Each structure stands twice: as structure tokens, then as C-alpha cells.
Structure 1
């Protein structure tokens, strides 16, 4: 056994996933290296790069309605991205080991069809499917669906919890003998019965991912998820979140390793620390153009601020808490508090509107040389702040290339990351148990 193998046997291993960016200002659209969000080649490039780096999975976000600002499609959003599961079925044919995670909404879908689609993906990929469960609170999104309307925030996770439990009942209705058993579920949100149309898949159950930092989200993850996708900028905040969520598992009869905590993070690499910081500053400015700075301000203030100079001071007027200026995103309920913090920051540092938006909305997590970034990632995991990371590059589709070429080898040298896949399913990559069949 080599020294590296001996070290990795005793060191906590880092889990890595690749997020295909686009539904926010993370992506630097103006960069000449930025490519299509609908051509299959873009998705294939990022997925193949992630698999070359021995990542656990490839992760696709998805929304059910295009967000609007002043009645126009949101300037920063993707228009025309393919549906996630359809795309991942195609990627299953050009990858061998990489997990494939799709976002599917539990508010505006139904358990039978969702369970069928993920079981199908799990079969076609040889056991690599994952479901990122999200919910929607707004009637704006609901207008796209026959049922319409929306769920109160307190009911979203109630439905989602029953949704996931019902899907698992369907997956369990086929036994190892290949014989489908009748299912019957009668609950608060769903009343269905029959026989499920897809045999038990290679993983038993596809991996379930949940994104959310609220108390309800943490509880849902502790009770039902295999992975939680979160965001915490500091080691201390990460440790607090990690301890809180892991501490909730015992009441559901689960062990700490049954749930992997993987914050979404960005990275900027340079040959020197100074070069990396310079690149990071340039990226922040590209992510927040003068027009987008005003747009971001209007999202908080809920008012038309187009007459304001982005290089000028913040508006003196207070936000409108009842504004419908922006639709299709979570409503900001603490706009007055956010505005007060932005004003205090702007006054303390002498920042313009654009500079304030850059400083308050930037999501750059790890900045430095490949050696320092590898060391910091390792410190987060060894220090109990995360089990791994979902990387969100700022370029599509080549933004992960440098990380795989420069940071992954250093993580492997540290004994903190695999040099080869040891299993074929996503559950094996993540170190998750295969669900026991409940016949």
C-alpha cells in the first residue's frame, strides 16, 4: 500500500459534485469562453470533465417559470434550457460512473410520474440517479399548472415529505424477485393506488437531495434526504450548520453518515494569491454590470429605480414591502432590514450602488492558488464543516477544467480524495447504504 493510500484510509474523504450554472448572476455571460445553455455539447463537456475528476455527481438546477422583472424576463436568467431528466438520460449514455442529479419540484408534480422518471434514469444509468427535491411557495409559478395557486410556506414541506415518502413506497413495491406488489397510499396530499410500472432500480432508491437552510428545510433533510445542498461562507458557520443538521438525525433513527452535507461553493484560481484576488475582483465586476446593479437594487427596494446612477449613492427612499415588481422568486420579507444593512455598509466604505451590490451579493468562496484552495477545502471537511462541496463554476462549460487539472491532484496527494472510482453507483460514491426492501 502506498503512502497516499495509507493516508486516505484514515482521513475523511471529500465528496465533490459539479453544478451546471445559469439561473443567476454566477455565470459570466460576457466572457467569450461562455457557451450555449441548450446545446448538448455544453452539458457533455462539463459532465465529462467532472467524471474525469472522479466527482460524485453532476447537478442540474431547474425552475418551472421564467422569472420576471417589470413584466420582462429576468435579465440574468437562462431562457430555453432543456428539461433536466431528459438531459440527464442523454448524459447517461456518454458517462460511466458520474452520478446524475435532476431538480424536480414537489409542489407542482405528482409522486407516481416523478418516481417513474427517476427509476427509469436509475436503470438507464446503471444506478447513478439523484433527485433534488425543491418546493414553490408562489402563485406566479402555479399559473403554469392546471391546479394553479400555491401552498402556504408551512405546507410546502408537509407535501414534500409525503411526496418523497410516497415515491419510496412506489420504488419499494417491486421486490427483489421482480414481482410488482400492489401499492396504496392515502394521505393528506395524495391518495393513489395501483401497481408501479418500473422494476426496482439498481440503487433501490435514487439518491434524494434537498436544498435549504431554514429550520423546516433542515428538519426535512434530517428526516428524508441523503444529501443537503446548502451555502455557508465561513468555517464557523459551516460547523454550526453541520452540527445542527447532523444532530437532528438520531430522532429519525439515522446515523451521521446517512446524510452528506455539501455546500455550494465557487472558486477562483491563480498562480499567486495576488493573481487569484485580481481575477476574483474582475469576475465580480463582470457578474454585476451597471444595469444588473440597478436590477438587484430594485429587487430589494421593490421600486423602479432606473433613474438612479449605478455609480451614485443608494436611494434615500425606503423599500416597498408590498411590491410585485419581481415575480417568480422567493419574496423578500425583510427588505427594510436588508436596505438598512446596505446603507450602513455603503456609508462606512463609501460605496456606490454597484459597489454595494458587488460586495453584498458576491458568492466567491475559495480564492487562491491550487495549493491553498485544496488546503482550505480539506480543512472544511476535516474540521467538521462539510462532507464535501457542490462546485459552481463561473463559466459554462469550461469553468471546471482548471479545478480538475490543478486542484483535484492536490487533494489526491493529501489523501483526501479518490484517485479512482471504487463503485459503480452514486450511493457507493457517497458512501450511502442501499435501502433495505420493505416488502
Structure 2
């Protein structure tokens, strides 16, 4: 099956769509009566079945390894936590049939044998629908939950992540196929003596033994990577089947797309071997004007006064609880020190120069007469697609045809029912114009994504295609 990035002449590029169960964050409008639990299995089931009904490629789960803190207290939006990723995905495998199951699993505080065994098992249980989003962790705060505590510098995190993934691939590939044969007369199993045998030694891992899960339906789970740094882009170009990006404007998307795709050749890969799938939010209305009004209300619900102060503290690196969120920005400058007022959030490190950011924000607030809350709403993430169903379908299609993305991972602001309106109104329009499937054509996630099953020992998925763990 060919990838969406290599369509026959005259045929529009096919769109990939996925659904992100958003975890715990300020994207979800908790105050909406339609907002449900983020831990009860019924929520996951409804969300996954809606995505499967709409013929989406996969469901995506983020992961949090520790409740985040701010000012020494658990951040209020994190109180409910997240269930274990493998437990949820394994359970979903039993109540779905075709949709891919993608889990975010950390390479900094886990071990290759354990993770490879879990993903290979999930791939068998789901009949070839498993995918792994490989991430790293940057902070000692998260590391305190693990025996190997502390943290790794950025270059060492990526070196460990690469070694981790290389080791996991060796484990996946330690079985080449049908090495086990049942001898019914003797009641014994005959096996290749080399089946599952492995030995890996590098500065990070020194392991040897026999991998006890035979080769799975996809050969290996699909590998995702989420990141935008130089190291993250290079890591994805070398190893990933898909990259989960944050570039949601057309021009930024095209630049990112060209940059990452342009790195593939030096790793012996083609453009077809890596899909670029930005995260995207959406707000739908009967008209574009109505959708705009709803989007404005959603943003104000997402950023309450208290949340605005919390988010500003992450840039200022100070306690700002005494400031009025409807008032002006603080006169005091951010604290550029090494300590952080928020712990366990990768986003805190995303502001490279807080003093420069503060100057820019003060100029913006003065020019547009913005309060703290208004400014945070203005500068924080906004809805990617806003409009009627037809407008949103047009915009999504335009992104993919312009090679600004291969598709999108959709993050609704209501869980679990927020995906329903997209499935019912936008998907049929994409199907009508021939850019999105009306039925699944294959059984595995590699089939959905247009990725071939890799040969044992191949560095990456053959043509058909880590950044810090995101706080989501």
C-alpha cells in the first residue's frame, strides 16, 4: 500500500486523521456540563469508538509520570492524574477492531526489554494496531518517582533514547517469523535455537537473553516521535515512522515539513517513510461567524483568571498570586534563575529568554490594552481550525495538499464527546471530495498509514514511513 505522500498523478493526497485523548490540562473545558471523566473506562471507550466509526487512523494517548506542581502545590488541573497507558490501550484493543492504538512511553525512566515486551504484546492483542510515541524526560522532579532518579542533560537524553530504541528494535527483530512449530504427535514445540536470542551492549544498556514474545503482526510497532528541537527533528528523521508536531499555521507547517522531510535522504530514507502529523484543535459552528463566537467563549473557559496567573507564573518564574488577572502585567521582571516555580512541565523550559518575552508581552499588552488574562489568551495556543464544517474541511484539505502536513491529530476541548461533531459533519465532506477513506482498506496501523512491514534488522520502516514529554 502506498503512502499518502506519494499519490498517483492527478489523485489528491490522502489525509491522515487521528484522535488525541487529551489527558489532563487546560485544553479541556472542565466547566462544560458535557465534560466527562478522564479516568473512567467508558470515556476512553466512547472516544475510541467514535474515532473508529469515523475511520481515523489511530487513537493517541499522552502520559504523565508525576502530578505537576506549581508553587509547591499540585497544579489544580492535574489532580485526577492519568491511568496507565498500556492498561488503557490493552483494554481498548478488546472493544475496537481497526483503529490504531498509540501510547506515549518514556525512554528516560524505563528499560528496553520491558517496554519492547509490552508493545509486542499489545501488537499481538490488537492484531497489529500498536504504536509507540517515544519521549524523554528532562527533570529530576519526575525522576524522583524512579529508582534511577535525577535527570540527564539534553544530549544524553537523546543518546539514551536512540540507544533505547535501537535496543528495542533488536528485541522486536530477534524473532524473524514462524520459528515455533507445534509437533502434535509429541505434544512438544520445536523451535529455532536462535529464536528470540539477543545481546546488546552500549554505554546505556548491557543486556543478553531471549526475548519471549514472537514477532508481532506489524513486525514492529509503529514509532512516533514528538518534538521540535534540532535534536528532535534529527531523531525523527533517523528513526521515526511519524512525527507529532506543533506547527499548525500553513507557513510554519510548510517550513517544518520541508525541513524534516529534507533530512531523510542522509539517513537513507525517502519522503514516504515519515509522516508529519501536527496536533490540531477545532471549533465548529453552523456558520463561520457562529464558530468564531464559540471559539472565543471556549478560549475564555480554557483560561480562567486563576489559570491565567498560573500560566504567567511559568514565564515569570515567580509567585504572582497577588496580581489581578483582569489587571495589567506585573512591573517586576521574570526571574531567569535555574529554579522553576512549576515542576514537571516541559513547557516551562520552552521560553528560552523570559526577559525578552516579558518585554514583547508588555508592548503587546500596552498596544492592545490587554489584561493579564487577555494576554495569556492572546499568546497561548489557540484553536487551529474554526468555522463551519465545510470551512474546516476546506482548511484541513488545503494544509495536506500544500504539503504543510500529512494529516492531523485532533484534540477536542470536550472529552469524551467532543469528537462526535467532527466525525458527523467534517469527515463526510472529506470523504465526498475523495481525500479520506470511506472504509478501512487494511487491518493494521501500518496499513492505515501506508507503511510497509519492516524486514528484521532494517533500520526503519521501508517505504511504503524525541522530544521532551509533552504536558498534555
- Any idea what the Cα deviations from partners look like across 1:190-219, whole Å, max 9, x if unmatched? 111110010000000000000001110000
- Counterpart position of 1:434: 453
Question: What is the 5 A alignment of 1:171-320?
Answer: 171-178=172-179, 179=192, 180-320=195-335
Task: Determine the C-alpha separation between the residues in 2 that align with 1:168 and 1:216.
Answer: 20
Equivalent pair of 2:136/2:157 in contact (CA under 8 Å): yes
Equivalent pair of 1:22/1:77 in contact (CA under 8 Å): no
- Counterpart position of 1:328: 344
Residue 280 to residue 30, structure 1, CA distance change in 2 (3 Å): same
- Any idea what the Cα deviations from partners look like across 1:198-241, whole Å, max 9, x if unmatched? 00000000000000011100000000100100011311110000
SS in 2 for 1:299: helix
- Counterpart position of 2:406: 387
Q: CA RMSD in A?
A: 1.5
- Counterpart position of 1:17: 18
SS in 1 for 2:244: strand
TM-fit CA distance, 1:252: 1.0
Task: Determine the C-alpha separation between the residues in 1 that align with 2:10 and 2:447.
Answer: 16
- TM-score normalised per structure 1: 0.97
TM-fit CA distance, 1:438: 3.2
Question: What is the 5 A alignment of 1:407-426?
Answer: 407-426=426-445
- Counterpart position of 2:185: none
- TM-score normalised per structure 2: 0.90
Equivalent pair of 2:24/2:82 in contact (CA under 8 Å): no
- Counterpart position of 1:141: 142
- Counterpart position of 1:83: 84
- Counterpart position of 1:3: none
Residue 136 to residue 69, structure 1, CA distance change in 2 (3 Å): same
TM-fit CA distance, 1:28: 0.3
SS in 2 for 1:390: strand
- State the number of aligned residues: 434
- Counterpart position of 1:404: 423
Task: Determine the C-alpha separation between the residues in 1 that align with 2:304 and 2:353.
Answer: 25
TM-fit CA distance, 1:8: 11
Residue 412 to residue 8, structure 1, CA distance change in 2 (3 Å): farther
Equivalent pair of 1:258/1:433 in contact (CA under 8 Å): no
- Counterpart position of 2:468: none
TM-fit CA distance, 1:9: 8.0
| Structure 1 gap ranges (5+) | 1-5
| Structure 2 gap ranges (5+) | 1-6, 180-191, 459-472
SS in 1 for 2:278: strand
SS in 2 for 1:10: coil
Task: Determine the C-alpha separation between the residues in 2 that align with 1:168 and 1:240.
Answer: 31
- Say if 2:125 is the partner of 1:121: no
SS in 1 for 2:66: coil
